[in-house]
Structure formats: structure tokens, C-alpha cells
A and B are shown apart, each in its own frame.
Chain A
Amino acid sequence: MGGKAPLVTVEGLRVTAGGGRSVIVDDVSFSIARGEVVALIGESGSGKTTIALALMGYARAGCTIAGGRVRVGGVEPIGLAPAALARLRGRTVSYIAQSAAAAFNPAQRIMAQVVENALIHRLRSRAAAEARARALFRALALPDPDGVGALFPHQVSGGQLQRLMAAMALITDPALVILDEPTTALDVTTQIEVLRAFKRVVREQGTTALYVSHDLSVVAQMADRIIVLRDGVVQESAPAAQLLTAPAHPYTRSLLAAAAPAPRQAVALPAGAAPLLRVSGLVAGYGPPDARGLPAVPVLHDIAFSIAPGSVLGVVGESGCGKSTLAQVIAGLLPAARGSITLDGEALAPRAAGRTREQLRRVQIVFQMADMALNPAHSVRRILARPLQFYHGLRDAALARRVAALLDMVRLPQALADRLPAGLSGGQKQRLNLARALAAEPALILCDEVTSALDTVVGAAILDLLAELRRELGVAYLFISHDISTIRALCDQVMILYAGRCVERGGRQVMQMAPMHPYTDLLLSSVPELRPGWLDGMSATHLAEAAGGLTRAAARLACPFQPRCAVRLEDVCDRVPPPVQPLSKGASILCHRGEAELLRAQATAAPLHASAD
């Protein structure tokens, strides 16, 4: 690689925002050789996208490219005339955006948008461009490559749109492709397909690419070289294998550590304690109820579980499977259509308005979007004081003392008490949310993706805090996450949801021991590993299952996983509701297949994902 002149060189790039008042990219230099895939990795706000866009001579509104040189294949995009820039963009350099759903024009058919690049740059006739597009659709393993072009973007799934955008980028055979977090918005099982499609196309066409991501495991599968970025400054740049195995910079090491979180210390639970919360036969959804009282959009189907005092139940599943809905039903924000919820043996009313203040106090909820969960008009002090007044009737000095104590408990400096939420960082906001929940002195906290919106390092600190609070206060959590590693790190019990059904439930060891429910098996094997060859080593069974994705039609089947399932029983699984059956490892699954059959199927589908605990 060393001999050839690099395709891209960046020297001393500097980008400022707010009229030069803040520097968001500072003195960044790197180069990309022809045919090389370079990854730019860093946490949110570290300037990844800004650098990527600067390669196209583009700065978002409010940002200015304040200095440095960029060369892409002999052209210097910075300061280029608009007409020349338009010739560069989409032709020499093309861009794959983070959210394909937002980046496709909702008013145009997909084919028109995919070939537009080739037409405006006068590379091909329309017919030739469309033929080339269909070839790319095929290469990207899109279902129905001949028909998909006639659809509108909203008629296609997110994973497919992401691949369609790759076709849009590649149709001009650009010298450089920029992929900006192309799989971040996708579920893990969908991500696999998209990553594999990208990888194959990049390899076949010898594309030079800049891959922007915050996820080291994903980057490990794609990149030849990795550049680590923090606050707009390059920390380390090294070949992928070297950076992953022998990181030189302490910041890289902390990223690597946070990517594979260690399990927090477990708590010994008193055996045989009466459950704190028991849920059975829960059915819930949205929209007006029909004649039988069932909601128009059913989301949760026959969910049952219990949580022991002081224990943690993890709920995992892909986006839209009903995790948040479950938390809202328990909190009384969304009345269930069927089923019962009991707290300490007392039945809870479906709506919060029907519950006693004491019942409400004992169950608190914390949301994913830390900033949306804080009233921007209320100061930190007021936010914490309200539950103290509301539940405990505290006033004056006692109130002030308790607010101070709560801030201490979640490690927030006292000086923040009079700030508005806008003056806090993301991590601080989430701590404040926790403190507000703790103010009620609850027995159970419903944590809905509380670390998902945070950077890995910040999220890891919140996980530590949660573990510590649980040890000290004996509070139980219903811990919702789509991220299996955080579930592994914190939870005693695990429940796996698919299309609103609980497909597997058991102790945390269920995620390490075969056999599993076929969906659990797929989900676990889809979680990217830091090991570079992981993606290429996926078993064919899992790849086939991952390719399916949940469709609206499938969600109505007796087993919604049936169309994807490698061990499905034709004419049974789609019609007969699968039974709940216990497994000898201590879990129960929702499946027609017996333990022995599953064990056999999953043994052959190796390599097994059992990671050390």
C-alpha cells in the first residue's frame, strides 16, 4: 500500500463553529491510499461527520472550514467554486448517510433517486443507469432487485434503504465512498446483512472508503486502518489489527474496555422471597379498543414474569418489539387490555390515576432520552424537590438536606443544583433522572434504555452507579436494553422479546448455554465482536435468519419468527401458538421444538458465541 500516492490527503484540517468561537475539528491530518478502507472512530460530538463532510468541501450550517488542506484525487474541494464542487460531489466522492430513512426524498421513487447521480453527472443514459442500478441491487443482496426501484422510500425497510443508499453512492463508480455510521440506526440482526453487503461490494470493486462509526466492533469487521478521534483531535491511527490488540493510546484502551463491559458484582438474593412485582397474561397495545377490548395495534402478547425484591430483570429485543410499551404499562401510563400486575401481592390499577400514592411511589421510571425526561423550565433543585414534597411531604431545611443528599448519591456536584437541565452534560442529565427516581425511595425502578443514548464510556459509568445503588439501597430494576452486553453486565434474570412475545426467560446464564430459543440464538450471534474475522465467520444458518427481518405479515403468525426460523415446522409454527416449555438450563422458551432438537441444530450451527463471563 505504501508505494502508491494516496487518494486522499488531509493536512491540518480545522473546522470551527459559532463564528469561530468553538473549534470542532483541530489540526487533523491523515491519508487514505487507493483501495484502502479507513475507519474514523470516536464518540458523539468528536467531529467524525464534520471531517467526512469536509472531504466533499461541505460544512453544515453554522460550521466553517477554517484551515488546512484536503486533496481528493488531485482536486482540492475546500474553496472550490460551486459548479466544480457539484461536479466533485456524488461523482468523485459519494456519501452514505447515517439515517437512510431521512436521507431519501419521500416524494420520489427509489430508482429515480438512485440513478440521479449518474444522470446529473452525465455518466450514463437513463436505461444504462437503471440497468447498472439493478446490478448493484443484486450485488447488495436486496430482495426483488428488479421491483424495488419502483417503490417509494416509505415502502421499504430501514435495512434495505441503507443498502439502496449504497447503490445510490456507488452508481457513479466514485473514487471515494464515505460511509457515515451506516448501520447505527439498525437492529443487530439487520446490521449483519448490511455490513456483509457493504463489505462484499467494497471488496469486489476495490472501493476506497472512509468508514465513520462509534462502534469498534463494527469497524473491526470493515477497516484496514483505524483513526481514533476525540474532541476533534486525532488520538491514535494504526492498522486495525494492531489497534485492536495492542492499543497505544490510553483513550483507545478505555474505548476498548467499555466496548466489552465486565459484569458488575452480583448481589446475593434471599432465596424464596415473595416477588416484588408479578405480571401475568399481559396484553397491551395502542389505538382504540375493538369489540373484545383488544387494542387496534396490539404490541404485547401474553407477557408474564416476576421480579424479586432487589433483583434485576433485563428485557432485550430489537426496536419495536414492545420493550418501552412494557415499561409504560407497568408505570400506569398505558392501560393494559388484559392481564394483571401485582406489587407486593396487591393488584395495581391499569392507570396511574387509579393507583394509591404509595403504590406510585414504589415504582419509578427512568427514560432513554435523558434530556427529554427533564423539564427544561425547571432547575435541578426543583426537579428533585417535587417528588420529595409529593411523596414525603418534605419542606424547608429537611427538603434542602435531602436534595443535597440525592445529588451526592448520584455523584453530581452540589453546584449544579440551581442550573437548568440545558446546562448539564448527557451523563449528568441521566444521573439527575436517576436521582429523581431515587427521591421517591422506590422498590422498583423501570429503566428504559437508560444508557443507550450515552457514549460508551459515560454509559459504563451509569451502569456502575446503578449496580452500586442496588447494592446499597436494595432497589430492584426492570432494565430494558437492546444491547446485550449491558444486559449481561447488570442483570440477574433475562427476558427476550420478539414481536411482543416473551420468547425466552431465565437466569442470566441462559445467554451462555445451549440450547436456546432460535431467536435468542440468532440475536446473540448477531452481536458484533471485536475480533476482525467475526463477520466473515458467521454461520450460514444465522445469515439466512438475519436476512429475513420481521414483516408486518409475520407479526400476525402464531410464531412471528416462523418465516425466518431455520428449524421451523411448516404448517405448525405459523398456525399453532407455540407452548411455553422449560429447558434443563433453567429457562423457559416459547417454541414447538423440543430441547434435544434445538440442541442438535445449534451445535451444528457453530461457531458458538459463548463468551467468558
Chain B
Amino acid sequence: MNAGITRLRPATAAGLLIVLFWAAMAAFGPLLAPHADGGVMSAQVFDAASRAAPLGTDYLGRDMLTRILIGARYTVGVAAVATGLASLVGTTLALCAATVGGWTDAVLSRLLDALISLPSLLFALVVVASVGSSIPMLVATAAVIYVPGAYRTVRALAVNIVAMEFVKVARARGEGTLYLMRAEILPNIVLPVLTDFGLRFIYVVLLLSGLSFLGLGIQPPYADWGSLVRENIEGLAYGAPAVIMPALAIATLTIGVNLLVDGLAGRRGGGDGR
């Protein structure tokens, strides 16, 4: 493991560290938070950084660090679940379409391609307008929005593999569809599928925090980082860290994932040698 990390390029290693850091915060953030959630700790709203509140205070005088640590759960966790769902469904459908081909492929591709032509934030807005934005609804919406993308990427990869002769050999041997998907095709596209998962995770984070920023995402009393930016937007006029810090947290998360993904994708070529 150690040798593995030192062989990574610096940018990739930095990405990995950032991702691990935020994953840990999503899991243990509330335990590490210096103040109780929701507790007003200062009379000073939109305060600058101080020893008691290293990232300043928000519009009610609450500690921003605590708010961000607790918000990590919503930004990282909700996005991870939604992306996981989207990738799982998209990958399964794509493998199925590529392996079976014919009508299955044509119909699936046609339908999902229509879905892909709905710009994501727009689709989310329409759904929120109609059914509101509970957390399960947000997860489902984000998953539905990104299934077609995952499907398209994985199908393109899988179609290349299906055309390879070792798949023909397996077919001629009499192997079933499930075996072909699981044993012959999937192992050869794991890395790009993971890469795609990473990219999609970024999109979902940006989508959900965008919604929250518009006040249409995660609703109080819960708050993800997008909501934090929104509720403190008035602090902008005073240059309060309360506006910038949550937005920076999102940026570090997405840039971290992207660096990691870029590094993984770059390793695809030489990787499997032994």
C-alpha cells in the first residue's frame, strides 16, 4: 500500500488524500466538531476567523467549522449514494445492452439518450417544483439524471470489449449472458467504470449543491455546503468567511476527486502488465 502511494504522481496523491479526508469527515465529522450543532456560540454574526471559530461565524453567530463538518455528511454522503445508484443501474443496463445487442440495445439506448438531452439542473428543477426536495427524492432525482450518462460511457466501453474475439470464444463455448457480463466484460472495464463513477460524483455534488444554493435542495434543519453558502450570502458584503468557506469546501472535494480520477485514467495504459 505504501509503495503504491509513493508511486503515484503528486497530483494524484494529493487527490487521494483530499478524497480520504472528506470521506473521513463525512463519517466522523459530527464527532470532531468543536461545537454542538445549532448552538449559537457568539454574539458576533459573520465574524472573521478567530481562535474559537477558526472559520468564522455564520448569520446567527454559529461556528462555521462545525457547520461545515456536519454539512459534509449531506454533501458527500447524499452525492455518494446517488452516484452509486446511478452507476450501478447504468452499468448493469449497459452491460446487458452491449452483451445482448439487437432490440434490447436499440430500445434502451434510444430511451436513455432522450433522457440525456435534458440538461441536469433543469430536470432537477422541474422535479423539485413538482414533488419538493426531501432527501430521498433528491437522491432519486440525481440518480435518474445520471443513469443515462453512466449507461452511455459503460456501453461504449463494453461494446468495444464485446467485439473482441475472447468474447466470441466464450459465446461459442455456450456461456450465458450473465457469465459474459460478469466474467468476460466487466473485469476489463473496471478502471474506466471507476473513473466514470468519480466524474459522475463530481457532477452530482455540483448539481445538489447548486440546487441547495438556489434554496431548492436540502432543506432546513439539514444543511449541506450549498445551503451554507445560501444562508450566509448576505455576509458577502462584509467579506465574511462564512460565504466562501463552504464553497471552497465543495471546490476542494470536487477538484480532489478530479485529480484522483485523472491519475487513475492515466494509468490505464500500462497498468495491468503483471
Cβ-based interface call for A465 (8 A)? no
180-211 of chain B: CB within 8 A of chain A: 183-184, 187-188
Name the residue on B nearest A359 (C-beta).
Answer: B174
Contact of A377 among B175, B187, B273 (CB under 8 A): B187
Closest chain A residue to B175 by CB distance?
A: A390
List of B residues within 8 angstroms of A352 by Cβ: 171-172, 174
**Interface of B (DSSP majority class):** helix
> How far is B175's CA from A386's CA once the two chains are assembled, in angstroms?
10
- Asked if A360 contacts B168 (CB within 8 A), the reply is no
Contact A355 B274 (CB under 8 A): no
A360 touching B172 in the complex, CB below 8 Å, given contacts A375-B188, A377-B188: yes
The 4 closest A-B pairs by CB, nearest first: A377-B187, A373-B165, A360-B174, A367-B165
Q: B169 in the interface, Cβ–Cβ < 8 Å?
A: yes
Q: Are A372 and B164 in contact (CB under 8 A)?
A: yes
Q: How far is the CA of A360 from the CA of B175 in the complex (A)?
A: 10
Q: How many A-B residue pairs lie within 8 Å, measured between CB atoms? A: 64
Measured CB to CB, the closest approach of chain A to B28, in angstroms, equals 36
Give the number of chain A interface residues (Cβ < 8 Å). Answer: 31
Tell me if B222 counts as interface (CB < 8 A to partner A). no
Whether B173 is near chain A, meaning CB under 8 Å from some CB there, is yes
Residue numbers in A under 8 Å from B238 (CB-CB): none
Closest A residue to B184 using CB positions: A375
Per the bound structure, the CA–CA distance linking A423 and B273 in Å amounts to 7
Q: What residues on B are CB-neighbors of A411 within 8 Å?
A: none
Query: Which residues of chain A from 338 to 396 have any CB-CB distance to chain B below 8 Å in the complex?
Result: 352-353, 355, 357, 360, 363-365, 367, 369, 372-378, 386-387, 390-391
| Chain A contacts for B165, CB-based, 8 A | 367, 369, 372-373
A390 and B169 contact, Cβ closer than 8 Å, known pairs A372-B164, A375-B184, A377-B187: no
Chain B nearest CB: distance from A205 CB in Å? 44
**Can you identify 20 A-B contacts, CB atoms within 8 angstroms?**
A332-B172, A333-B172, A352-B171, A353-B174, A360-B173, A364-B172, A364-B173, A365-B169, A367-B165, A373-B165, A373-B166, A374-B166, A375-B166, A377-B188, A377-B272, A378-B187, A390-B175, A420-B274, A422-B272, A422-B274
A328 touching B184, Cβ below 8 Å: no
A333, A369, A372, A386: the one within 8 Å of B171 (CB): A333
Q: Is A230 an interface residue (CB 8 A)?
A: no
Q: Are B168 and A367 in contact (CB under 8 A)?
A: yes
The answer to whether B168 and A328 touch across the interface, beta carbons within 8 angstroms, is: yes
A331 at the interface (CB under 8 A from B): yes
Q: Is the CB of B171 within 8 A of A376?
A: no
> In the bound complex, do residue A390 and residue B174 qualify as a contact, i.e. CB atoms below 8 Å apart?
yes
Inter-chain CA distance A365–B166, complex, in Å, is 10
Q: Check A422/B169 contact, CB under 8 A, given A352-B174, A355-B174, A357-B174.
A: no
Interface string of B146-181 (1 = CB under 8 A from A): 000000000000000000111011011111000000
A390 with B272: CB separation less than 8 A: no
Contact of A436 with B by CB under 8 A: yes
Complex Cα spacing A373 to B169, Å = 7
CA A360 – CA B173 in complex, angstroms? 6
B274 touches which of A357, A365, A423 (Cβ 8 Å): A423
Chain A residues whose C-beta falls within 8 Å of the C-beta of B174 in the assembled complex = 352-353, 355, 357, 360, 390
B237 to chain A, nearest CB (A): 54
